[in-house]
Amino acid sequence: MKVLRRIRAIAGKETRQLARDRLTLGMVIGIPMLQILLFGYAINMDVRNLRAGVADEAGTALSRQLVGDMQAGQVVRFVLQTLTPEGLTEALRRGEITIGVHIPVDFERRLADPARPAAQLLVDGSDPSILNVARQLLETPSPVRNVDGVGDKPVFELRNFYNPERRSAVQIVPALIGVILTMTMVLFTAVAIVRERERGNLELLITTPVRTIELMVGKLLPYILIGLIQVTIVLLVGHWLFSVPMQGRLADVYLAALTFIAASLTLGLLISTLARSQFQAMQLTLFVFLPSILLSGFMFPFDGMPVLAQHIAEVLPLTHFVRLIRGIVLRGAALGELMPEVKALLVFFAVTMTLAVLRFRKRLD
């Protein structure tokens, strides 16, 4: 009986402590709710409305009918119309579209020829899920039906850009850099201020002439170097073990990584000003990490998500870095061609750094 009383006493004490810890109590409810909402609402395996472009060199009624049939299937959403196939490949390289449709000048003659495809389907193979979705378009019916069996032949020839061998490592490894940096950079800095408080070092820092912004920047600099080392390790291992190509400039890769590292570190600093213990900091990091990895386009096609989920994903720095790293490493795009993603990361850095400094000053006061 004494054993049971002691166990009840400890259990009661732990229950009261959990009840006073509002953040932990919120995570108990928040994390399951977040996962249910993400997997039940935001993550959609039945992908629709992929951004597509068309180069209709034929300009005939049959070619327009083919484009209309594809649009009606809702797998693609045509956002670009160009005159040449070179325009499609450029748009693919810049990440403006994920699928391109090239209809040649002799489209109608090709439809009547069973020996060759009538049109080409250009697919961005840097995204691991786009290729599987694009295969659905190969079943698009011919606009010419029941004429000596012509309507039964495949309309499209599939061309897989940037990963012709269809190796999953080529698609996953570059974006994995962002996942690793999100997990490590945010977590490292999330416990930074909390650790100083728990060890009693924060009071010593208050008495020094070090200003808030100087303290924040000083804490970020060592982790920036750690982040760049992690980028180097992933690139080297990916190249040596998995033969991941480097189509773009290495300098652009490091500049993009530096921008993303800075954004991730300031997010961790902001979390550290909200948490009261290292355990709470880890909980908040997990709360950020889950939507980042699921909504960024790393695992699931971004275009297939509901509009609300896309708006949430645009706030997350990993979303923009996945576009940057795949564009540079796999598609050979220059950093200047992906400036909207860089600007988004810089804005995120400025906002989170400002909030972290204001939160830290408020706590010191």
CATH number at residue 155: 3.40.1710.10
The answer on 201 and 116 residing in a single domain is no
Looking at 115, 130, 161, which one is the last position of a domain? 161
Looking at 110, 138, 161, which one is the last position of a domain? 161
The answer on 188 and 320 residing in a single domain is yes
pLDDT of amino acid 42: 62
Number of domains, the chain: 2
Whether the CB-CB separation of 152 and 234 falls below 8 Å is answered with: no
pLDDT of amino acid 364: 44
The answer on 193 and 85 residing in a single domain is no
Residue 43 falls inside a structural domain: no
Residue 4 falls inside a structural domain: no
**DSSP state string for 204-230:** HHHHSS--HHHHHHHHHHHHHHHHHHH
Looking at 161, 183, 202, which one is the last position of a domain? 161
The answer on 321 and 195 residing in a single domain is yes
Torsion of CA 210, 215, 218, 220, to 10 degrees: 180
pLDDT of amino acid 126: 81
- 57 three-class SS: coil
Residue 352 falls inside a structural domain: yes
The answer on 322 and 268 residing in a single domain is yes
The answer on 300 and 204 residing in a single domain is yes
- Burial (CB < 10 A; 0-12, 13-18, 19+), residue 317, is buried
pLDDT of amino acid 237: 92
Residue 18 falls inside a structural domain: no
Full residue range of the structural domain in which residue 268 is found: 168-364
Whether the CB-CB separation of 288 and 208 falls below 8 Å is answered with: no
Spatial distance between the Cα atoms of 82 and 103, rounded to a whole number of angstroms: 11
The answer on 185 and 68 residing in a single domain is no
The answer on 209 and 68 residing in a single domain is no
- 159 three-class SS: strand
pLDDT of amino acid 333: 92
pLDDT of amino acid 363: 45
E strands in 131-271? 156-161
- Burial (CB < 10 A; 0-12, 13-18, 19+), residue 31, is middle
* Chain CA centroid to CA 148, Å: 47
Spatial distance between the Cα atoms of 104 and 101, rounded to a whole number of angstroms: 10
pLDDT of amino acid 362: 43
Residue 8 falls inside a structural domain: no
Residue listed under structure tokens 């932990």: 24
The answer on 224 and 280 residing in a single domain is yes
First to last CA, the chain: 50
pLDDT of amino acid 139: 79
Q: What is the 8-class DSSP label of residue 128? A: T
Q: Show pLDDT as tens, one digit a residue, over the chain (365 residues).
A: 666 776 776 677 666 765 666 656 565 666 676 666 666 666 666 677 889 999 999 989 988 998 888 888 788 889 999 888 899 999 999 989 999 999 999 998 888 887 788 899 999 888 767 877 777 788 777 777 554 544 566 788 888 888 877 787 888 889 999 999 998 999 888 887 777 777 666 666 666 676 777 777 777 888 899 999 999 999 999 989 888 889 999 999 999 999 999 999 999 989 988 887 787 788 888 888 888 888 888 877 787 788 888 888 999 999 999 999 999 999 999 999 999 999 999 999 999 999 988 877 544 44
pLDDT of amino acid 326: 93
The answer on 327 and 213 residing in a single domain is yes
Q: Walk across the sheet containing 50-56 and list its strands.
A: 76-82, 50-56, 99-103, 119-124, 156-161
Nearest in space to 193 (alpha carbons), one of 18, 361, 16:
361
In this structure, how many other beta carbons lie within 10 angstroms of the beta carbon of residue 219?
Answer: 18
Q: What are the angstrom distances between the C-alpha of 227 and each of 170, 176, 265, 292?
A: 21, 13, 10, 18
pLDDT of amino acid 335: 93
Residue 292 falls inside a structural domain: yes
The answer on 226 and 91 residing in a single domain is no
Residue 101 falls inside a structural domain: yes
Residue 12 falls inside a structural domain: no
The answer on 360 and 298 residing in a single domain is yes
